[in-house]
Amino acid sequence: YFIHSHSVTQNYTAGDYELEAIPLIEKLFAEGHDTLVMTGGSGFYIDAVCNGLDRLPDADPVMRKELTARLQEEGVAALAEELRNIDPESWAAIDRNNGHRVVRAIEVFRQTGRPFVSFKLEGPKERSFDIEKICLTRPREEIYERIDRRVTQMIDEGLVDEVKSLSQFRDMPALRTVGYKEIFDYLDGNIDLDEAVRLIRRNTRHYAKKQLTWWKRDPSVKWVTP
């Protein structure tokens, strides 16, 4: 489930995922399944299922486009400064290096007049099923070596042509991610392909480290070395 299910042209959030995944999970359990496996990547999406997310207002496409353009032109520091002026409470609480998070905080404040962090849930939502969290990990050197191999494989299997075919959608959130943004820089002539590959490897390692940090904050996780 959720493989080849959504288009890159869609705006899709972790909140949307919660609204689609929870009914599916409940339906599958009702059909008699004893155990379901959810596997992934983004801690925010996993939190959406395990704990639930705030009910934030829907994004305003015009405002999102304006703020995203400013993020690219002025940088995240400029938008973070704006957030500090209009919503100092959220400015102090969020990751101000995360451009998407800063844009969303400004967006929510402009739409509602309320601090972004005021929408935070008081506690996890109740679920009708039990959750066991298992984190597979390996020695850091092995993780990094596997990342390097994977990036080489992505290039060999046609990543550059894939990115070329998606150029018209390059401003969509799904394409402002590791692996795509570096190849767009290469296609724009800002860097050569070797540098793009180096940056994808480096940025993927940073993301892997961030994932581990995310899960280490959760005492319920069972850590397993395959």
Quick check: helix, strand or coil at residue 169?
A: helix
The pLDDT value given to residue 188: 96
Q: pTM here?
A: 0.73
Measured on CA atoms in the order 134, 175, 23, 115, is the torsion positive or negative?
positive
Q: What is the distance, to the nearest Å, from the Cα of residue 123 to the centroid of all Cα atoms in its chain?
A: 22
pLDDT at 203: 94
Question: Rounded CA gap, 174 and 161, in Å?
Answer: 17
pLDDT, tens digit only, all 226 positions of the chain: 999 999 888 878 788 899 999 999 999 999 999 999 999 867 778 888 998 887 777 778 899 889 989 998 999 999 999 999 999 989 988 878 888 889 999 999 999 998 888 877 667 889 999 999 999 999 999 999 999 999 999 999 999 999 999 999 988 878 888 999 999 999 999 999 999 999 999 999 998 988 888 888 889 999 999 8
Contact 218, 133 (CB under 8 A): yes
Q: Tell me, what's the pLDDT at 154?
A: 97
Question: Torsion-angle region of residue 95: left (phi > 0), alpha (psi -120 to 50) or beta?
Answer: beta
- Compute and round to an integer the Cα radius of gyration of the chain: 19
61-74 and 99-112 helices cross at what angle (nearest 10)? 140
For the chain, the 3-state helix, strand and coil shares in percent, each to the nearest 5, are: 60, 5, 40
